[in-house]
Structure 1
Amino acid sequence: MNDELVSLSELRLAIDAAFSESSNDVSLHRFLASRAKTMHRGIGFGDGDQVELLQEFVHRYIKQVPDVLAHFHKISLAAGVEDELEAFLHIAIDYFLQPLEITASHRGLLKIMDAAYLAHRLIEEVNDRFIGNAGVSISPIDNTEDNVVMHFLIGESLANELDLAVHYSVEMLISQNALFSKQSLMLYVEAQKQNQRKQQSVYKEESAIRLALNRY
């Protein structure tokens, strides 16, 4: 398997194309303006226009997906579980290239926003399984809080349906007995635990994909 999936290049192109085609589209701004009016008080912002901050958050949330997936793939190679995790990477990419029917009502960046949520949630769920079963994280970021914000923006009904789609994919594809007992993964986990503090520092430096939205 190549160090970076060929389909990741397609994903980057698809995201760039979506932003280019939507450069003069105000539908996302209008959508976020309506959501900002009902924003949960637990989600705070820094100074500035609230809708503009939300839009910047959404843009960064979408654009970081390829980097997160690339790093996830890199870790799967290092742990020798690329064959087991490749299906998840392709599912995450297909969310963009072949959107789910339940997102059919959205267009442009709104549809890409849905796909980004699916991809981030998929990585979050797989990573949670690794933490629970192996005691280590294989994701370059903790995207839990950002996913909560995006869940609100997408809307409870649709977001819950997307969560179910992610949960179903994870349940269908992860075989815990086969994956978490694999010798290469066990060796990787042992090495990570021995050097956990140093490794966490490296991950933070390498990923450089922190969102700009400040929450207090």
Structure 2
Amino acid sequence: MHSPANSPTQHHNMLLEQVGKVRTLIDDLSACTDETAALIARLQIRSSTLHSAIALPLDAAPLLLADFVVRYIEHVPDFIEAIHAITSDAGIQEQVDPLLKVALDYFLHPPELVRGHSTLQVLLAEAYLAHRLLEEINDRFITLCGSPLAPMDTTRANIVAHELIGEPFAIELDQAVLFSADILLTEHNFKGAAFDRFFAQHREHGWSVELSRWPCLAADRSIFLNFDGQK
């Protein structure tokens, strides 16, 4: 017997296939040495004008920031895969996957807003959109349900990315994220017994199991690994 066209298994496989496509896209574009050299040259200029809270030694700043950019971009599919697995285990993935699909679509179908820049600049903007959308969704679930959808906090990483992207472009990206979050949370229903159990469990027991299974969710620790001891 064939599975229904929109069966949970097909949804699961389609989303994981999209995660794989995004990983391949990121790997292919990040491997371009000319793009990496251009990024480091750009960061050499930007590093002298960053907010004082981002304190790095001037001689090492461009390489450290380039490493941050690569980690920040590469973590998007890792985060999405982790959230998908967590919500699948809880039986709420059909309601959550539309949120994750929008984050993936920033890479697979880039909005007009991010076009016209160099390859790694586009990847950074797409990653910023995805990270900010997940951050915004998490914040709204904390307000609505007393718990985030996933135990990651990318606030610090997003502030650094905002600085590297620069204004007014980063502000335009923020506005696009808020618009998307408003639409998603209006169009999709995030209620029901499974949702109630999911949030009640994590309000009571925390996220230690998920963090041990998905260490990438400790976002600041993993993205900022090479900043340790540099400040």
TM norm structure 2: 0.84
Unaligned runs of 5+ in 1: none
Q: Which residue of 2 aligns with 1:15?
A: 26
Unaligned runs of 5+ in 2: 1-7, 217-221
**Rounded Cα–Cα distance in structure 2 between residues aligned with 1:102 and 1:88:** 20
**Secondary structure, aligned partner of 1:105:** coil
Q: Which residue of 1 aligns with 2:139?
A: 128
2:198 matches 1:188:
yes
Matched-pair contact (CA < 8 Å) for 1:140–1:207:
no
Matched-pair contact (CA < 8 Å) for 1:72–1:140:
no
2:83 matches 1:76:
no
**Rounded Cα–Cα distance in structure 2 between residues aligned with 1:186 and 1:177:** 16
- 1:46 shift after superposition: 6.6
Q: Name whichever of 116-125 and 27-36 sits farther off.
A: 27-36
**Secondary structure, aligned partner of 2:129:** helix
Q: Deviations over 1:152-194 (max 9, x none)?
A: 1101211111111111111011139931x31110011122222
Q: Which residue of 2 aligns with 1:34?
A: 45
Work out which of the residue numbers 164, 178, 188 in structure 2 matches 1:167.
Answer: 178
Larger RCO (alpha carbons 8 Å, 6+ apart): 1
Matched-pair contact (CA < 8 Å) for 1:92–1:119:
yes
Q: Which residue of 2 aligns with 1:142?
A: 153
Over the aligned positions, Cα root-mean-square deviation in angstroms equals 2.1
Pairing of 1:70-109 with structure 2 (within 5 A): 70-109=81-120
Question: How many residues end up aligned between the 2 structures?
Answer: 211
**Rounded Cα–Cα distance in structure 1 between residues aligned with 2:46 and 2:57:** 17
Corresponding letter in the other structure for 2:84:
H
**Aligned residues: percent identity?**
33
| Structure 1 segments (4+ residues) deviating >4 Å | none
Q: Which residue of 1 aligns with 2:69?
A: 58
